[in-house]
Amino acid sequence: MSKNKTIYRQVDQLFAMSRRFGESKATIKNQGKMAKAMTGAKTYDDYRAACMRWAEDLAERRGSSKFQICSVKPEEIKNFLERIAMTHRPETVHQYCAALQKLENMTNERFGKVKWKIDEFEKPRRKREDVTVQRGPAYTTREADQLIKKIGQVDKRAADAMNFIRATGCRAETIFGRLVKTGGKIVVDGKVVKGTKVSRDFKKAITAERIDLVKGTVTLCEKGGKWRTVKYDRRYQGFMERLVKRNPSGTIFAGLNQPTMYSRIKAASYKLGIEGRGLHGMRKTFAVQRHGEYVQRINELINKKDWRALTKEFMVTKQKAQAICKNPHEKTVDKLARLKLSKDLGHNRIEVTYRYVPKPKGSK
């Protein structure tokens, strides 16, 4: 590596060479390259920003930006993390540790051997009162109807957004775009001496061209920059047609203010005597509804002994489908429904679906 390269250039190069968006994580793991690979767009942006902030700090302390990254000592990493821990929240410190650990792995893979001993750094623990309260269960059909109607009396576009989430199971970023923060927040003696700049990235926000009215699907781009196509609830066909007609080009929910909408949902929930669960409650409502539909569909195919349709619709092998039709179990049907539901929600693990659709009481 040339000695003339700045530390910023080296960090930038390492991240660029490690970017593997859209590739299978299983394949990357099998190649033994997961530790130095970046597969998600948001994580990539967050980690790169953290490492650039570290590079700026180190360059300032060394009095020069032109030095090899392989010359960085564990003491310099520890010193930086200790100062971050003094002025930032624990979760921010954890993110910096993860980002620098990833950078260390990238450096060892591409530029030369370093050992920064990040795993030996004693990370601060989050206080119990700082832990985010777990969101509640899905809204019932009656609660969702009441809440959307109440919101519609104040803001019809906000009500449309809630209906869209209820029909598709999308995340909030599909409605509002992704919140992007640049710059690091620094707090000294309880006062913010340097703030972060906040902007919106509308690339993920839903547009009319991503709604297929014929097939009854929406194409979503959310967490980690992953794309997926989901069938929306056909009961909302007229609603979807109205959205497309009203917004033939551009972002459908452009201009809708997220904090204002959240405040209105909270106020409406209070007036209706409903436990506030925000927009995420609508995503859970979608999950509960869709899971029930999948269970019903699987049972219909089992009763017909239609293992071919089961294979096609629920992503199972011929042998597995035939075995299910021959000897069905309630637990197997539930897991098969959850497997497909996890794809609708933009997840890759069945376990995550239990946050949306809990196990029935008494079941193991």
CB neighbour list of residue 35: distance below 8 Å, 6 or more residues apart = 102, 105
pLDDT by residue (tens digit) across 228-281? 999 999 999 999 999 999 988 889 998 898 889 999 999 999 999 988 788 899
pLDDT at 158: 95
Give the dihedral sign, CA 290/295/300/302.
Answer: positive
Determine which helix (DSSP H) or strand (DSSP E) holds 218, and give its type and residue range.
Answer: strand 217-221
pLDDT by residue (tens digit) across 117-152? 999 998 887 554 444 444 678 999 999 999 999 999
What token pair was written down for 18? 């490690």
Q: Find out whether 206 and 253 touch, Cβ atoms under 8 Å.
A: yes
CB neighbour list of residue 96: distance below 8 Å, 6 or more residues apart = 50, 54, 80, 81, 84
pLDDT at 192 over 60: no
CA distance 152 to 144: 12
pLDDT at 305 over 50: yes
Instruction: Give one word for 362, left, alpha or beta, with left for phi > 0 and alpha for psi -120 to 50.
Output: left
CA distance 161 to 4: 52
pLDDT at 2 over 90: no
DSSP 53-88: HHHHHHHHHHT-S-S-GGG--HHHHHHHHHHHHHHS
pLDDT at 31 over 70: yes
- If pLDDT is split at 50, 70 and 90, which confidence band does 72 have? very high
Q: Find out whether 294 and 337 touch, Cβ atoms under 8 Å.
A: yes
pLDDT at 363 over 80: no
CA nearest 179: which of 195, 159, 196, 158?
Answer: 196
Percent of the chain scoring above 70 in pLDDT:
90
pLDDT at 41: 78
Query: Which backbone phi and psi does 332 adopt, to 5 degrees?
Result: -65, -40
CA angle (200, 201, 207) in 5-degree steps: 115
Find which of 76-90, 214-228, 295-309 is predicted with most confidence, using mean pLDDT.
295-309
C-alpha distance from residue 345 to each of 38, 81, 103, 337, 353 (Å): 22, 36, 31, 12, 8
pLDDT at 127: 55
pLDDT at 209 over 50: yes
The mean pLDDT value for 31-42 works out to 84
CA distance 273 to 189: 40
Distance of CA 205 to the CA centre of its chain: 14
Pairing verdict, β 217-221 and 186-188: unpaired
What token pair was written down for 145? 């109807």
pLDDT by residue (tens digit) across 170-179? 999 999 987 7
Sequence letter at residue 100: L
DSSP 189-216: TTEEEE--EEEEETTSS-BGGGEETTTT
Would you give the DSSP letter of residue 120?
Answer: G
CB neighbour list of residue 110: distance below 8 Å, 6 or more residues apart = 13, 14, 17, 18, 36
- Is pLDDT larger for residue 43 or for residue 190? 43
Q: Tell me which fold the domain 141-172+206-278 belongs to.
A: hpI Integrase; Chain A (1.10.443)
- Average confidence score pLDDT of the chain: 87
307-330 burial, b at 16+ Cβ within 10 Å, e below that, comes to beebbebbebeeebbbebbeebee
CB neighbour list of residue 24: distance below 8 Å, 6 or more residues apart = none
pLDDT at 224: 66
Secondary structure class of 278 (helix, strand, coil): coil
The mean pLDDT value for 281-296 works out to 95
pLDDT at 243: 95
Q: Which residue has the tokens 């449309």?
A: 160
How do the domains of the chain map onto residue ranges? 7-130, 141-172+206-278, 282-355
Find the farthest-apart pair of alpha carbons in the chain and give their distance in angstroms, rounded: 75
